[in-house]
Amino acid sequence: IFTLLSTQHDHTPAYTERLGAPMGTTVRVRVRTTLPVTGVSLKFVRVGEIESVPAREIDPIGAEPGRWFEADLPVHEGRVRYAWQLDFLNDHLNLTGLGLHRTRRGFRSWFTYLTGHTAPEWAWESVFYQIFPDRFRNGDPTNDVQTGEYVYGDRVVEHVAWNTPIDSWGDIHGHYGGDLNGVTQALPYLQDLGVTGLWLTPIFVSPSNHRYDITDYRHVDPHLGGDEAWDELVRESAKAGIRIVLDGVFNHVGNENALFRAAVDDELSPERAMFTWRDEPGKLPYHAFFDVPTLPKIDYRNETAVQEFFSGEESVVRHWLRRGAAGWRLDVAHMIGTGGTDEDNLPLHRTLKRAAREETADAYVFGERFYDPEHALDGQGEDGSMNYHGFGLPVMQWLAQANMMFEPSLLNGEELVEILWDAYHALPPQVALSMFNVLESHDIARALYRVGNDRTQFLAGVTLLMGYAGVPCTYYGSEVGVTQSRDGAMPWCREAMPWDESQWDMDLRGRMKALIGVRRATRALHRGGLRFVHAEEDAVAFLREYTQEGGLVERAAVIASRRAERHEVSLSLPDGEWRDAVTGEVFQGGHVTLDAAGGRILLLN
Ligand code: ARE
Ligand code: CA
């Protein structure tokens, strides 16, 4: 897992001629080493067999120490696995991802070259902010849901006053009145924080406050300001340099949806085939998301359903991209399909992605996946996925003080690094850079709460989030210290955003803003490689490097610590003067002092 600082290869231009080259071509790849090698060869897998070609020594590129070797990698399959072999007088060393150990994935810890692929590179440069519209900001009280307008089960749904802490059934199911008008009003706030992307949880016509039970996919809920509020938000956010990704609820519709109503009302209707039916005593007559009656599952064996949502000229996917969305987050991506296995569903996901890309050439499409997403990320379907598995959950398991709901065990720094490396390295670089990294969301407990409201530990998470490979996304309110009133995930993580500034944690906000600024200003963090250099019980560190064609290297070192008192961490860093990108403090020789800020992002002067 730990890097040999003496040797380097990654996906950046000096080391990999180009990314995403078409199948059937070759790509020049290079490695640099200061070790006393007698020869270097490139190994790659072709139809299951390992082949090996000698690398030729070339003139050094740039000023970094070491000798350079080059070889041609034939890219003959969708994903080509390759590795370097360094030969010594009496020995050789295989560099599978420049790690010294084999990871649990063994063979698959080789480098991966992805052919014929374009990534939505704007997303790599973005910092996202997740908004749950009912709870972010009420920009127009006249459009609020009124008490009595909806009924859930046999109880009347209430309008809840903004500052009410979530406590009763009424608050859980209630509507607080947030809307898109409020998001537009908050654009200066978001811009000031440095955010450049928004992920909005569903905004279409729906009875619930979360709106995952969609009645009409073609219109924005009037309680959120309707289609006009969307158009205004798109216009104003573009001016503010902010793009918007929508939540695509494509596994199920709401039970009030016209397609489902038609299917229920008439067994002979064509809509009948868009859902799956069953006749078992005590069960719903149709398949639904976790058997929730309001969420009947769509059956994509039906071509009309595929057309309606994905591929048709007027599909939902196309419609909202045309109307200004920059991409889609796919709700329960692992479920969207034909009822078969995850693998069976991949062709459908490719269809969805193709339609999105036909509409908007750089649309960003990523799935919600709580589990290992590797099999779904071959570049042809989703660009990346929500990175709970390979980032957010393990990071929080390392930071969490208490064993909360989804954290069966705590991790130490070494274990954390092993898990992160394993997940990162299983993916081709463009996919790894397109992963949607989160520490928290509207589905899991707030990160600040899970660390016992310890600001240092939370900031350690934010430091990792802003420094890591993949697209960072923060959750509304976390920047000012919004936490929870009790244990558990939803609904307690969905408190209304306080707009009374006297309730804000200004120090926290200042630090997050600074880290967001560093993320945005540092190319190595957008598109650099990833090498872990250190782990101990309470601290971890990695390098992010981007080496240009001419050899000029941009380098950041990210160090996170969960200990609040001032302490020193000793680690090996490439030689030079390292400057804290936020405070300006300078460190030499790899002795770095850490404090209550939870970590540092250092740049090589
Ligand atoms: C509501 C209540 C729940 C109640 C449920 C059933 O809040 O307390 O249990 O109703 O009556 C949306 C709403 C939810 C709503 C749900 C059903 O946001 O508030 O729940 O609809 O009406 C798993 C899935 C993951 C999924 C989560 C919810 O793998 O994909 O469960 N996430 C998406 C969205 C949700 C949304 C839906 C799906 C449905 O992001 O917001 O719910 O469209 C562990 C497990 C995971 C589990 C995860 C979170 O990590 O391993 O499998 O995710 O926890 O619970
Ligand atoms: Ca409102």
**pLDDT higher than 90, residue 401:** no
The pLDDT of residue 353: 98
pLDDT in tens, 22-54: 999 999 999 999 999 999 999 999 988 999 999
Q: For residue 82, how far is the Cα from the chain centroid?
A: 26
User: What count of other Cβ atoms lies within 10 Å of the Cβ of residue 355?
Assistant: 23
> What is the CA angle 40-46-49, rounded to 5?
85
Average pLDDT over residues 269-277: 97
**pLDDT higher than 80, residue 3:** no
d(CA 373, CA 342): 10
Cβ-Cβ contacts under 8 Å for 96 (sequence gap 6 or more): 83, 102, 109, 110, 111
- The structure tokens 């991209």 sit at 321
- CB 66, CB 34: distance < 8 Å: yes
Note the ligand closest to the C-alpha atom of 185.
2
d(CA 132, CA 180): 10
**pLDDT higher than 70, residue 99:** no
Kindly report the protein residue whose alpha carbon is nearest to atom 22 of ligand 1: 292
Nearest CA to 202 among 168, 171, 228, 178? 178
Kindly report the protein residue whose alpha carbon is nearest to atom 3 of ligand 1: 490
Question: Ligand 2 center to residue 144 CA distance, Å?
Answer: 4
The pLDDT of residue 110: 83
Beta-ladder partners of 74: 26
- CB 434, CB 120: distance < 8 Å: yes
**pLDDT higher than 70, residue 96:** no
d(CA 129, CA 461): 15
- The H-or-E segment that residue 236 falls in is helix 226-239
- CB 561, CB 498: distance < 8 Å: no
- CB of 292 closer than 6 angstroms to any ligand 1 atom: yes
d(CA 349, CA 333): 9
Question: Ligand 2 center to residue 516 CA distance, Å?
Answer: 29
- The structure tokens 């991949």 sit at 346
Average pLDDT over residues 139-166: 96
Q: Which is the closest atom of ligand 1 to the Cα of 290?
A: 6
pLDDT in tens, 449-478: 999 899 999 999 999 999 999 999 999 999
Q: State how far the alpha carbon of 340 is from the alpha carbons of 126, 271, 299, 348, 375, in Å.
A: 35, 21, 10, 11, 15
Between residues 409 and 343, the one the model is more confident about = 343
DSSP assignment of 335-377, as one string? T-SSSS-HHHHHHHHHHHHHHHHHHSTT-EEEE--SS--GGG-
Nearest CA to 318 among 346, 345, 342, 351? 351
Instruction: Return the DSSP state at 37.
Output: -
Give backbone dihedrals phi and psi of 52, rounded to 5 degrees, phi first: -140, 135
Note the ligand closest to the C-alpha atom of 137.
2
Kindly report the protein residue whose alpha carbon is nearest to atom 26 of ligand 1: 332
Strand 204-205 to 67-75 pairing: unpaired
Considering only 59-63, 397-401, 520-524, which range has the smallest mean pLDDT? 397-401
The pLDDT of residue 331: 98
Question: Ligand 1 center to residue 174 CA distance, Å?
Answer: 17
Task: Write the ipTM.
Answer: 0.96
d(CA 517, CA 466): 9
d(CA 219, CA 206): 10
Q: How confident is the model at residue 589 (pLDDT cuts 50, 70, 90)?
A: confident
Q: State how far the alpha carbon of 280 is from the alpha carbons of 123, 269, 285, 290, 296, in Å.
A: 46, 22, 7, 16, 16
d(CA 373, CA 409): 22
- CB of 116 closer than 6 angstroms to any ligand 1 atom: no
**pLDDT higher than 90, residue 507:** yes
- The H-or-E segment that residue 239 falls in is helix 226-239
Question: For a pLDDT cut of 90, what percent of the chain falls above it?
Answer: 86
Strand 436-438 to 384-387 pairing: parallel
Question: Ligand 1 center to residue 443 CA distance, Å?
Answer: 6
Q: Average model confidence (pLDDT) for the chain? A: 94
User: Treating both helix axes as pointing N-terminal to C-terminal, what angle do 506-521 and 455-467 enclose, rounded to 10 degrees?
Assistant: 10
| Full set of structural domains in the chain with CATH | 7-114 (2.60.40.10), 124-241 (no CATH), 530-604 (2.60.40.1180)
- CB 363, CB 357: distance < 8 Å: yes
